[in-house]
């Protein structure tokens, strides 16, 4: 038996696993804006998202007693607790690391806190106003740079697309992955956004010809392979499964949530031992073991698109297709919510709904379990959403109905 499985079994028997112990009782987001167009300050965006999530959950915001965020979110728990008038703040947590790798890790951290009894109602949140605080998609403007970036910026490697393009090139070369698989990811996202009024790309469909003729950002990424840059706020309310069952007849359980990094995945200057990876190879094993489900059980997938090539890696590493069949399986028809075998990024995701640093894709995964997505997949019991492929620590959560627990 696999060593990792033995370790998990021991943990599970001692009652420490997350499976079904906590739930997402409510979700909320602000209006999603194009980068720089938010009329609200970033802090107000976060407050609005939290209040919306509380209303969605049917709880008083003063019940919140914990906060989790990621990627050095500027809106601190202390300031939020002040603004929300909390009597007591029992738990706060920042997931280290840049990028969106923390978007499912915040659910793990919030659920862990609730399950441990550290807090009862924990908010996982993210706020972004790139117009107010600088863009992700632009390079460093400092006169001199030290440390890791000294080995990349002077060679013109400074934007996220430039930092991650070479992993995708290597994936395509090692495994014969076609551009058609990347195109299908983009087309599915835009297809779904046309039914989602929240989506920044609502009313702006994309066809294959437009994708194929779009300009290069950096080979192998064309314009539509790259995520958007947006302003907005998003929040999720994590509480115990028991409390969630009081609030809703159909609570959305956290079946598993897992961070994932591999050997030297944070090694400088593109030196992880395994290079052409989304960083999910190890974490996905723990994830499924924790949830007690297999890839075949997954009904719908939100797979974080920083870049389409990373989605291909992520789907493979989550066992949803293989290196060998990825070119055949990853087609627009198969990725559609309306009839596809692997419904993917059903809100439009980071490409076409909003780049809310991935938290919007966790929210969409919850909506699929509740049955109120704008691109609802029928009879969803198991809903997977990953975050931050290719970054040094990525993460994935699986949400589901009580039916899955048996």
User: Considering the rule CB under 8 A, would residue 159 count as an interface residue with another protein?
Assistant: yes
Q: Is the dihedral of CA 81, 85, 86, 89 positive or negative?
A: positive
- Closest distance of CB 71 from another protein, Å: 19
For 107, what's the count of Cα atoms within 13 Å in the CB-facing half-sphere? 43
- CA distances 228 to 34, 259, 354, Å, are 8, 24, 7
Which residues partner with 97 through β-bridges? none
User: Considering the rule CB under 8 A, would residue 178 count as an interface residue with another protein?
Assistant: no
- Closest distance of CB 241 from another protein, Å: 41
**Residue whose pair of structure tokens reads 């910026």 in the numeric block:** 153
Residues 355-374 that bind another protein (CB under 8 A): none
Give me the helix-helix angle, 281-291 and 3-13, nearest 10°: 40
- Closest distance of CB 152 from another protein, Å: 6
- Closest distance of CB 148 from another protein, Å: 6
DSSP assigned state of 401: -
User: Considering the rule CB under 8 A, would residue 11 count as an interface residue with another protein?
Assistant: no
Residues 253-272 that bind another protein (CB under 8 A): 264, 267-271
User: Considering the rule CB under 8 A, would residue 167 count as an interface residue with another protein?
Assistant: yes
- Closest distance of CB 141 from another protein, Å: 7
Which residues does the annotation mark as catalytic? 304, 355
- Closest distance of CB 184 from another protein, Å: 22
Which of 44, 94, 153, 247 lies at the binding interface for another protein (CB under 8 A)?
Answer: 153
Query: Exposed/middle/buried for 210, CB within 10 Å: 0-12, 13-18, 19+?
Result: middle
SS3 track for 193-209: HCCCCCCCCCCCCCCHH
User: Considering the rule CB under 8 A, would residue 150 count as an interface residue with another protein?
Assistant: yes
Instruction: Say if CB 326 and CB 320 are below 8 A apart.
Output: no
Which residues partner with 302 through β-bridges? 385
User: Considering the rule CB under 8 A, would residue 351 count as an interface residue with another protein?
Assistant: no
User: Considering the rule CB under 8 A, would residue 5 count as an interface residue with another protein?
Assistant: no
Which of 12, 31, 76, 152 lies at the binding interface for another protein (CB under 8 A)?
Answer: 152
Residue closer to another protein (CB basis): 9 or 150: 150
x-or-dash pattern for another protein, window 201-230, by CB under 8 A?
--------------xxxxxx----------
Closest to 358 measured CA to CA, from 367, 368, 345, 374: 345
Query: Which span (163-171, 236-244, 314-322, 387-395) binds another protein, by CB under 8 A?
Result: 163-171
Instruction: Say if CB 161 and CB 99 are below 8 A apart.
Output: no
Which of 51, 94, 166, 247 lies at the binding interface for another protein (CB under 8 A)?
Answer: 166
Residues 124-143 that bind another protein (CB under 8 A): 137-143
Per DSSP, which regions of 225-363 are E strands? Answer: 230-240, 252-260, 300-303
Classified as helix, coil or strand, 243 is: helix
Which pairing describes strands 121-129 and 230-240: parallel, antiparallel, or unpaired?
antiparallel
Residue closer to another protein (CB basis): 139 or 371: 139
Residues lying near another protein in the complex (CB under 8 A) are found at: 137-159, 161-162, 165-167, 169-170, 173, 215-220, 264, 267-271, 275
């Amino acid at each position: 038996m696999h060593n990792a499985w033995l370790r998990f079994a021991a943990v599970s028997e001692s009652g420490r696993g997350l499976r079904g112990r906590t739930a997402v009782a409510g979700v909320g987001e602000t209006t999603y804006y194009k980068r720089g167009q938010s009329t609200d300050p970033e802090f107000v965006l976060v407050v609005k998202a939290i209040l919306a999530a509380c209303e969605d959950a049917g709880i008083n915001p003063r019940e919140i007693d914990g906060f989790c965020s990621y990627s050095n979110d500027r809106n601190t728990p202390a300031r939020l607790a002040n603004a929300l008038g909390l009597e007591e703040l029992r738990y706060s947590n920042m997931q280290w690391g840049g990028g969106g790798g923390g978007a499912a890790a915040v659910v793990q951290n919030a659920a862990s806190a609730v399950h441990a009894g550290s807090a009862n109602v924990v908010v996982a949140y993210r706020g972004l106003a790139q117009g107010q605080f600088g863009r992700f998609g632009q390079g460093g403007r400092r006169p001199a740079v030290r440390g890791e970036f000294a080995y990349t910026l002077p060679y013109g490697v400074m934007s996220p697309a430039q930092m991650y393009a070479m992993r995708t090139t290597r994936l395509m070369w090692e495994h014969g992955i076609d551009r058609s698989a990347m195109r299908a990811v983009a087309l599915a996202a835009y297809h779904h956004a046309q039914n989602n009024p929240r989506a920044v790309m609502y009313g702006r469909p994309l066809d294959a010809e437009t994708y194929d003729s779009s300009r290069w950002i950096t080979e192998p990424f064309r314009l539509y392979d790259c995520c958007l840059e947006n302003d907005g706020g998003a929040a999720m309310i994590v509480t115990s499964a028991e409390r969630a069952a009081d609030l809703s007849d159909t609570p959305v359980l956290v079946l598993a949530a897992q961070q994932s990094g591999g050997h030297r995945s944070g090694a400088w200057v593109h030196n992880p031992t395994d290079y052409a990876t989304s960083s999910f190879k190890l974490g996905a094993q723990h994830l499924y073991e924790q949830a007690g489900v297999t890839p075949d059980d997954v009904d719908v997938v939100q797979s974080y698109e920083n870049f389409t090539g990373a989605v291909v890696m992520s789907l493979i590493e989550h066992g949803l297709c293989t290196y060998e069949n990825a070119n055949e399986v990853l087609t627009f028809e198969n990725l559609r919510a309306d009839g596809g075998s692997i419904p993917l990024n059903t809100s439009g995701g980071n490409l076409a709904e909003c780049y809310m640093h991935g938290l919007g894709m966790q929210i969409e995964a919850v909506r699929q379990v509740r049955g109120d997505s704008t691109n609802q997949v029928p009879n969803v019991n198991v809903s997977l959403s990953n975050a931050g492929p290719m970054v040094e620590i990525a993460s994935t959560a699986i949400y589901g109905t009580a039916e899955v627990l048996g």
